[in-house]
Amino acid sequence: MANTHTALPRVAYFCMEYGLDNRFKAYAGGLGILAGDYMKGAKDYEYPIVGIGIKWKQGYTDQMIDAKGQPYDTYHNYNYEEFLEDTGVTVTVDIRKRPVQCKVWKLDRFGNAPLYLLDTDLPENGEDPWITGQLYGWFGEERIAQEIVLGVGGVRALRALGIDVDVYHFNEGHALFAGFELMREKRVQGATFEEAWTKSREQIVFTTHTPVVQGNESHPIDRLLYMGANMDMTPAQLKKIGGDPFNMTVGGLRLSRKSNAVAQLHGVTANDMWKHVTGRSDIIGITNAIHLPTWVDADMIQTAENGGDLWAAHLKNKRALVQFVKDRTGVELLADNLIIGFSRRAVPYKRSDLIFSKPDIIDPLLRDRKIQIVFSGRAHPLDDTGKAIAANLVAMSKKYPGAVVFLENYDMTIGAALTRGSDVWLNNPRRPKEASGTSGMKAAMNGVLNLSILDGWWPEACEHGVNGWQFGDGFEHADESILDAHDRDALYRVLTQEVLPTYYDHPAKWVDMMRASILGTKEYFGVKRMLEEYYELLYKKG
Ligand SMILES: *Cc1c(COP(=O)(O)O)cnc(C)c1O
């Protein structure tokens, strides 16, 4: 396709994961979904963007539930060659002082701008083919090896492919070593460390994601040296970039000329969180968005626009969800009664069990099936706390048969079914820990009403009682038990006094809210606006 924006900067987007299609499991969660939607938007709107990623042999975990209701992880080898084109290019990186070959594949099969994927699963790699084995698998050294492949290998792949780049966009700190490679290129041309840093910074922009401190990866400097990630830089030089221990987000902030957070509130949170970091780039807010053709039922949008029967259009999606749940679990939900969808990564701050915390209120509503809840969500394979959260939801599905279900192995197919077919999309993280939350956008545009804490993207869209509901009024507290009690009371108040009466007693108002939800979100939270802002606020110089 012709590039209609020839004057625009050419961008290489680096990301560890891409959620493009459920047949291509190269993603774990929200970061990958964002990257996949971004690449599809780049194609739709003809931006000069290429992506750099990894061809994962086993992708992320398939997390299933055993007979006792406990999550367990399974992996299998994927044969992705049918989707990929062999570029004929192989680049070499040094890891633990050994050369590692990275084969470069090209993917443009899912309506996405060209994506180049690096692959170490080659016989000549001796001990190292498994570096690109599992997304977010294993521990520190392997993660660094993967990041050397993505970052250093990625820049070398661009050179070998002859792709000219004006802006290197690091989506999350995983890509940071690409910055080290850009600096190395300048140092071998005679630049000093400081000169190479200053010049490379002009080429790099950075997106920061998690507002949870522990979610920001760091490594002992010794480990970076042992792995060869330092690219001949001294410990003192590494420390100047990322601190000691070396924090990948701090490095990203210091190696970029501009950074962004993924919602406006997240911008405030991130600037506060990293305010102690000297010499870092400014963090602006560019709110995430979604690729509508991937996630939104076009019929819902059209019906909302032309004033047609929105409830009938929704009921088609709701019945499809009821069937989907029946096929997967044997449980038959009632299509006439309220269905709440909730699917999130299983981590404590998302509080997936908040709705169960006052049994005297919720118990009768579930027993009468006035409320039905469909849960899904995976825990990181090494996170036992997260697995206990998922196991608790499975236990609730046994306690409330027919009213609570848990869908194992959350993926794009489940995400799409839930954000189309539910009536309400519930989200109750501990504010302000949710960076953005694109699943709520999918729901909103499908006429599924958000019932959410004012966190992530929701403060930018919410008109309480008009296009969805907020609860908690933006309350924050350092003491989690105070915060949880406050939000629990607020959730029950809005649920019992507003959501349920509207659904059961005022169906015309419900449909008006659905229409307001769709019409009020479909443009601003579409990937077109996000790409325009990336170009205007992040990629463009000056
Ligand atoms: C949309 C989507 C996400 C992102 O969801 P948030 O929890 O809102 O960040 C993650 N995983 C899957 C499978 C999705 O479809």
pLDDT tops 70 at residue 172: yes
Taking the CA of residue 436 as reference, the ligand 1 atom at the shortest distance is 9
**Ligand 1 in reach of 210 Cβ (< 6 A):** no
**Ligand 1 in reach of 153 Cβ (< 6 A):** no
C-alpha distances out from residue 452 to 43, 69, 514, Å: 32, 28, 15
Q: Computed over its alpha carbons, how large is the radius of gyration of the chain?
A: 23
pLDDT digits (tens, 9 = 90+) for 254-274: 999 999 999 999 999 999 999
* Rounded (5°) CA angle 488-381-142: 130
pLDDT digits (tens, 9 = 90+) for 433-490: 999 999 999 999 999 999 999 999 999 999 999 999 999 999 999 999 999 999 999 9
pLDDT tops 90 at residue 137: no
Ligand 1 centre distance from Cα of residue 483 (Å): 25
Ligand 1 centre distance from Cα of residue 412 (Å): 8
Do residues 100 and 118 make contact, with C-beta atoms less than 8 angstroms apart?
no
Which residue has the least CA distance to atom 9 on ligand 1? 437
Pocket test of ligand 1: the residue of 34, 439, 453 to mutate, having most ligand atoms within 8 Å of its CB, is: 439
Q: What is the predicted pLDDT for the residue at 276? A: 96
Do residues 168 and 178 make contact, with C-beta atoms less than 8 angstroms apart?
yes
Q: What is the predicted pLDDT for the residue at 138? A: 76
Residue environment code for 468-500, b if the CB has 16+ CB neighbours within 10 A, otherwise e: bbbbbeeeeeeeeeebbebbbebbbebbeeebb
Ligand 1 centre distance from Cα of residue 390 (Å): 16
Give residue 215's pLDDT band: very low, low, confident or very high (50, 70, 90): confident
Q: What is the predicted pLDDT for the residue at 1? A: 45
Taking the CA of residue 439 as reference, the ligand 1 atom at the shortest distance is 8
pLDDT tops 60 at residue 3: no
Which residue has the least CA distance to atom 3 on ligand 1? 30
Which residue has the least CA distance to atom 14 on ligand 1? 415
Least confident window among 4-8, 298-302, 373-377, 439-443: 4-8
**Ligand 1 in reach of 439 Cβ (< 6 A):** yes
Distance from CA of residue 81 to its chain's centroid? Answer: 25
Ligand 1 centre distance from Cα of residue 421 (Å): 15
pLDDT digits (tens, 9 = 90+) for 77-99: 988 889 999 999 999 999 999 99
Under the phi-then-psi rule, with left for phi > 0, alpha for psi from -120 to 50, and beta for the rest, what region is 450? Answer: beta
Q: What is the predicted pLDDT for the residue at 5? A: 56
CA distance 161 to 90: 10
**Which domains are delineated in the chain?**
11-289+529-539 (3.40.50.2000), 292-525 (3.40.50.2000)
CA distance 136 to 87: 26
CA distance 155 to 52: 9
Average pLDDT over residues 297-325: 98
- Nearby residues of 308 by Cβ (< 8 Å), 6 or more positions away: 302
Taking the CA of residue 441 as reference, the ligand 1 atom at the shortest distance is 8
Average pLDDT over residues 13-21: 98
β-partners of residue 341 are 374, 425
pLDDT tops 50 at residue 2: no
CA distance 358 to 363: 8
C-alpha distances out from residue 427 to 33, 122, 283, 362, 528, Å: 18, 43, 26, 17, 25
pLDDT tops 70 at residue 231: yes
pLDDT tops 70 at residue 185: yes
Do residues 521 and 450 make contact, with C-beta atoms less than 8 angstroms apart?
no
**Ligand 1 in reach of 438 Cβ (< 6 A):** yes
Pocket test of ligand 1: the residue of 136, 438, 446 to mutate, having most ligand atoms within 8 Å of its CB, is: 438
Neighbours of 1 (CB within 10 A): 7
Per the structure block, which two tokens stand in for 19? 């959620």
Which residue has the least CA distance to atom 15 on ligand 1? 415
User: What is the secondary structure of 202-257 as a DSSP string?
Assistant: TTEEEE----SGGGS-EE-HHHHHHHTTTTT--HHHHHHHHTTTEEHHHHHHHS-S
Which residue has the least CA distance to atom 5 on ligand 1? 439
Ligand 1 centre distance from Cα of residue 426 (Å): 13
Ligand 1 centre distance from Cα of residue 375 (Å): 13
Q: What is the predicted pLDDT for the residue at 212? A: 85
**Ligand 1 in reach of 44 Cβ (< 6 A):** no
Give residue 214's pLDDT band: very low, low, confident or very high (50, 70, 90): confident
pLDDT digits (tens, 9 = 90+) for 329-349: 999 999 999 999 999 999 999
